[in-house]
Amino acid sequence: MSEFGWFAGTRVQLIDGRIIDMPAQKDSHVFSVERAKKLLDDAFGPGYWVRQQATLNLGPRSVPDPDVAVVKGRAHPGPGYPMTALLVVEVSDTTLWLDRNRKALIYAKAGLGDYWIVNLVDRQVEVHRDPVAIPASGGRARYTTVQIFKPGEFIEPLAAPRARVAVADLFA
């Protein structure tokens, strides 16, 4: 539908079969997205594509545009969107409920092992790991590990364990 111009001039995402309107971004959000991209470019280095606000194809019901996603391989134009990522980051203020709930569920279902929420409201990073299927739930999944990191602490991406990202550097 998007390719036919149905959503021209709007910010929407397909999340678990629903079209979600996305609010306008505040300057603090834009700053944190740009910082996350830069820090993850540095952490992962060559051979990884750190995509900023670009689509992931997680199936016919979920095609999100995470704020930052790290994909194995070099940047390249090509048909289709990546179907997985090593790390996904959402910067969150007005969308905190969506990022903690709906997006966490679709990222876990897609088997994305490292999902970070840069929580601008509480000035912390919520790191979600260890996705598992929920028995008898019709294919739903969730993260079994959630850790909170505050300014002054560091996070090591699972796919780049020698790298350290300073939490304080993600905030304005």
Residue 13 inside a domain? The answer is no
Residue with tokens 């739930």: 137
pLDDT at 26 > cutoff 80: no
Residue 148 inside a domain? The answer is yes
* DSSP SS3 for 32: helix
* Type and span of the H or E element at 44: helix 27-44
Is-above-0.95 flag for pTM?
no
Q: Which domain holds residue 98?
A: 24-170
Structural tokens at position 19: 């079209």
pLDDT level of residue 8 (50, 70, 90 thresholds): low
pLDDT tens readout for residues 102-140: 999 999 999 999 999 999 999 999 999 999 999 888 889
User: What CATH code is carried by the domain that includes residue 119?
Assistant: 3.90.1570.10
Domain count for the chain, please give it.
1
Residue 2 inside a domain? The answer is no
Residue 65 inside a domain? The answer is yes
